[in-house]
Each structure stands twice: as structure tokens, then as C-alpha cells.
Structure 1
């Protein structure tokens, strides 16, 4: 990418202005710094097409909402959510679809009450330890930023720890809550959305034993055995545990695994349709990259392949990727998932006892 840019009269601008522009280009719309090997050319090409889609979707969403602050779940809204929620409507739809808005309205004083309650010293220490580790590559979480989201993140996690003492604070929650703050720009909304995820959509993912997380990794293994048997066979041959290659996918809900825009599109559907979306994404990544994974000849090869499949054009084109997750893995009903979870829960319980 050229460092100098043409001004409106066709002459090249000064290096000073160019350097400022380069610094601005290095920060994405969500505050994340782009890596040194970021492909600006491909990104600009992709975004020029995606912006057309976003504009079209934004107009349709505005017509659907008509300035209303409320929505009802129905087939049309589900279709709209799958095609992507514009940023300006994301917090509203996530709150409504997840039941978080209903909880906020039922307990309007609850967040502040939890925040002002006497804080448990161990909880405070655990949260504070992780604050500086949360998105070090995001300018919004730096102490020099104004406002700095670290303080808001600390508040949300402290309040949630008191709201749900059985969970308290668990690894991964800082990244999830941080993303919620980036999108909602509102502590109370982030708190209730975190409650929807931890308490209802992903039960036992963030409990001390992480039983739900372990169980769903086992469920993914069963689904791969069913839908991509060659990959399942390879995993068995090299004695690779699923937790080794997909635990970050599940515990961080694809944060820092897939590109930001793609993660937000996944979360649009996660808040609306529930946890089966996580399996659809995982199965699509594995099925689409089956040939690459099958080239692995050792355990380190398998781990490397699983890192590789979360990078590149396939996952960067979030609109096309999201269309794929609803076609490539085939049918995936909640009834089938419930049945698999029951079987895998017993296996996980037996391993823990």
C-alpha cells in the first residue's frame, strides 16, 4: 500500500499527512490494531462489495423497525438476523432476541445494586489480574484512552460475579464482556447480555468445572464423526483430543479466532438462535477445509491445520461465510443436539469422577 495519497487536485500529499492516515488505517472500526501483515488491498476490495450489502440491509432494517425500540421474534426477523444486523441496531436486537431487555426492565435497579454491593476480595483480584490482558491490541482498552473501557469492563465483571456467585469470574468472560461493551457502549446492557450468554444460552460453559464447555466439545466430536468422518478418523489416529483444537473457539465464542466482522455476525445468530450456531460455525470450518486437515501427519500438524483454517479469504468474507454455515453442515436440530448432549454429559461426568 502506498504511503503517499493523492489530494483532490491530483498532487501527492505530504508524508506527515500520509503517516497520520496510515495510523488511522491501522485501527479498525472497533478499535483493534491491524497486524503488520494485514492485506489492505484485499480488505478494501472485500469491503467495497460488503458495504453495498450493508447499505441495502440497513435500509431494510430501518423499514422493519420504523423507529421502534421493540421487536418480536418471528420468521422474518430470523431471516433478517441471519443476513446481518447493522451496527446501529445491533445492541437493540441482541437485547430483545436474548431476553436481556426483558430482564433489564424487570430489574431496573439490579445492575447498580450489584455494582455497589460489598466486593469479594478474591473476585476483585481475579478480575483485575485479567484486565490488562484483555484486548491489548485494542486502543479502547488502553489506560491512555478516553474513555477507557477497562473501567467499564471491571464494573460489568464485578457486578456479574455478585449476581451469579456460582460462576463468579471465569477465564474467557473478560473477552466476551469486552466485546459486548464495544458493541453496546453501555455497561448495563453488556451486563444483561453477559447474563443471557452465561446463564441461559451457554449454561455451564463458565462454571468452575466448565462442564457445559467440555460436553459441547465432545458433542462436536460426535457431529464430526457423523458429518465429516474422515476428519474424525484422523483425530482418532493421531490421538488428538477435541479440547486441544477447539476449546478457544467455544470459550471465547470465536473472539480472536475469526475476524471481528465475522464474529459479530456469528453473535447476531447466537443471541437469536442459541448455542447450535457455535456448532454450525465449527462444522463449516472443518467440512470446508477437510482436504487441508487430512494432510496432517502428526499431532502438531493437526493443531497447525486447525489454526490455519480460521484465517484467510473464506472467513474474512463474513457475508458469504454466514450463508455457508446454514448450508454446508446440513441439518442440525436442537432435538438432535439435546440427545447428543445427554450422552456426552455422562461421558464428561465419568471422566471427572
Structure 2
């Protein structure tokens, strides 16, 4: 219930959309003012993306799609669009069951598992989704994706810092297997 003494800071959530804690000095009044105006733009973009995605079964390469991507992909479509444009969706469909089999095999590699476990609790300490008592807690998901990828791509294995990239992919994809295939597309095809 709003009272005259309540501030914008009291009404705003202490965490953002992705679960990151806002710093103590966060300017809630400025953010609320900015976001209330920017919400119109975000809504218009979301409607355009929805119409674009209804017209086709995929995200076809075009100047229109390129322009839309450069302006930003709405949260509700981001995982789907990333999967499509990166090629991760096609690779996941062509390799049904592969992620789970490589995850099981990767658990047998003690050196890989130890390297991953060392960095787990260092991942996004300011994100509520990566806290041990969180619900849902993404630490096990992060562990699984990193172990599976390290076993899948033995040339790269696991490198310090991959936990942050993978953690972000998990926050966007909200699905373990999709995060794995996005990581594979990013490291295996897009970055080299």
C-alpha cells in the first residue's frame, strides 16, 4: 500500500529481471522515471517481434531482422531468437539426447569436475539465482552445462571465466540443454 512517506526505492524490487541485486546507491527515482517512459518503446518492440515470429517458423536472415536485433530483442523472445540465429536450435534438434549422454560421460572426468566446482560459488555472487539457498538455484544447472561442455569440447575443456558466460546463458535460456547448445554455438562456431 502506497503512503506519502513511501519512496520509489521502497516500491522497486531490490533485484532486477535477471536476479542481480541492485547496489545500495541505486537511484530508484531516476530508474522509475526512465523506465516508465521506456516501457512504451519496449512494448512497441515486443509487439513487432511477436508479429514477425508469428509469420514464420524460424528467424530468417533479413535486413528487417538485423534491424530488430540491433534495437534489442525483448526478454520474452530472447531465448528463442538466440537459439535460432546462432544455429543452436538446429544443432540441438540434430543431436537429440547428446547433451545428456555427454553430461554423464563428463562426470567421470574428476579433473574437469574439480575445475568446474572450484568456480561455481564465484559465479555471480550478486545474483540471487546463484545462491545456494535460492529457489530455483542455478548452481547445479551451471555445473552440469560446464561439465558437459568441457567433455564435449576437449580442446577447450573448462576455462576460468566460462562460468560467467554460461551463467548468463542459463539466465536467458532458462533451460539447461538450451544453455549448453548456446555455449557450443558461441565458443565452437561464432567466436573462433
Give TM-score, length-normalised by structure 1: 0.51
Separation in 2, partners of 1:24, 1:187: 30
1:18-37 equivalences under 5 Å are: 22=10, 25-37=13-25
Q: Is the 8 A contact 1:127 1:154 kept in 2?
A: yes
- Would you say 1:99 and 2:58 are equivalent positions? no
Corresponding residue to 2:99 among 111, 136, 140: 111
Q: Is the 8 A contact 1:69 1:92 kept in 2?
A: no
- Rg (Cα) greater in structure: 1
Q: Which has the higher contact order (CA 8 A, sep 6+)?
A: 2
1:156-305 equivalences under 5 Å are: 156-203=145-192
Give TM-score, length-normalised by structure 2: 0.92
Higher mean Cα deviation, 157-166 or 116-125? Answer: 116-125
Corresponding residue to 1:70 among 38, 58, 69: 58
Alignment match, 2:112: 123
Separation in 2, partners of 1:192, 1:92: 12
Q: Is the 8 A contact 2:102 2:151 kept in 1?
A: yes
Q: Deviations over 1:75-130 (max 9, x none)?
A: 11111111111111101110111111111011011101111115211111110010
Separation in 2, partners of 1:67, 1:146: 36
Q: Can you give the 5+ residue segments of structure 2 that lack an aligned partner in the other structure?
A: none
Matched positions, count:
190
State the 1:146 CA deviation: 1.4
Q: 2:169 is paired with a residue of what secondary structure?
A: helix
Q: 1:36 is paired with a residue of what secondary structure?
A: coil
Alignment match, 2:78: 90
Separation in 1, partners of 2:141, 2:12: 24
Aligned-pair Cα RMSD in Å: 2.0
